[in-house]
Amino acid sequence: MYSYRVNEIFYSIQGEGEFAGAPAVFVRFSGCNLACPWCDTDHSHGVDMTRDELEDAVKKLLAGHDGAIIVLTGGEPALQLHDDEPLFQGFARFLCIETNGTQPVPGWIDWITVSPKNELSPIVPRPNELKFVFEPEHIPYYLSMQEADCILNIQPLARKDGTSNLREAVDFVLAHPRFKLSVQLHKMIGVR
């Protein structure tokens, strides 16, 4: 039996990627193997939970919300998941993970969203979608991924001063229709 270090668990609307708009229970795991300079995730806080405690907390939030999906995020959630201890079996409609792609993802996950950190190629063999935070200097890298057999999302970069490069991201997607624009819907509608 493993222990899981969890930062927070909450019910909200998925704001990004293919399931944007879907009600979801989010499990944010603590800790990450990377240290991206723009990271706005607090990795320092977490509570250690057993599988039963974690599943009970998620079940409580799913009660009455049967169609909701579950999103495992972080930090880097794949650091704490194990092939031999599947989570949320039998009561989840759909189990998604948001990962930086550097860690193996267990086979019991239904949907894998990889957000590559540009300098690293994802090692996850078959992601369902890739999500790139748009930085024009990395356009050659995005274009090199055009043949990937998955959904390709471009997400505007939200700067700390409140501005973003939305217009450049829109122009890129219009010029390269293999990519889709993914905006952070949760921020637009004012939810977590």
Q: Active-site residues: which are they?
A: 26, 32, 36, 39-41, 98, 186
- Taking CB under 6 A as the criterion, the residue among 3, 10, 36, 144 binding ligand SF4 is 36
Query: How far apart (Å, rounded) are the C-alpha atoms in residues 112 and 101?
Result: 9
Angstrom distances, CA of residue 100 to CA of 51, 104, 115, 121: 23, 10, 5, 9
Pick from 39, 123, 189, 191 the residue near ligand SF4 by CB under 6 A.
39
Distance CA 10, CA 27 (A): 7
As measured in angstroms, the least distance from the Cβ of 109 to ligand SF4 is: 17
Amino acid in the structure at residue 67: G
Per DSSP bridges, beta strands 3-13 and 111-114 are: unpaired
With beta carbons less than 8 A apart as the criterion, state whether 157 and 133 touch. yes
Is position 34 an interface residue for ligand SF4 (rule: CB under 6 A)? Answer: yes
Q: Smallest distance, Å, CB 2 to ligand SF4? A: 20
164 binds ligand SF4 (CB under 6 A): no
> Where in 138-157 is the site for ligand SF4 (CB under 6 A)?
none
Piece in contact with ligand SF4 (CB under 6 A), picked from 74-82, 122-130, 159-167, 170-178: 74-82
Segment 97-136, which members bind ligand SF4 (CB under 6 A)? 100, 117
Question: Does residue number 46 form part of the binding site for ligand SF4 (CB under 6 A)?
Answer: no
Q: Which residues contact 123 (CB under 8 A, 6 or more apart)?
A: 101, 102, 103, 104
| Minimum CB distance to ligand SF4 smaller for 41 or for 165 | 41
User: Would you mind telling me the total number of residues written for the chain in this entry?
Assistant: 192
Does 184 contact ligand SF4 by CB under 6 A? Answer: no
Cα–Cα distances in Å, from 52 out to 1, 31, 57, 75, 170? 10, 21, 9, 21, 44
Establish if 76 lies at the interface with ligand SF4 (CB under 6 A): yes
Q: Which is nearer to ligand SF4, 15 or 74 (CB)?
A: 74
> Where does this chain bind ligand SF4 (CB under 6 A)?
32, 34-36, 39, 41, 74-76, 100, 117
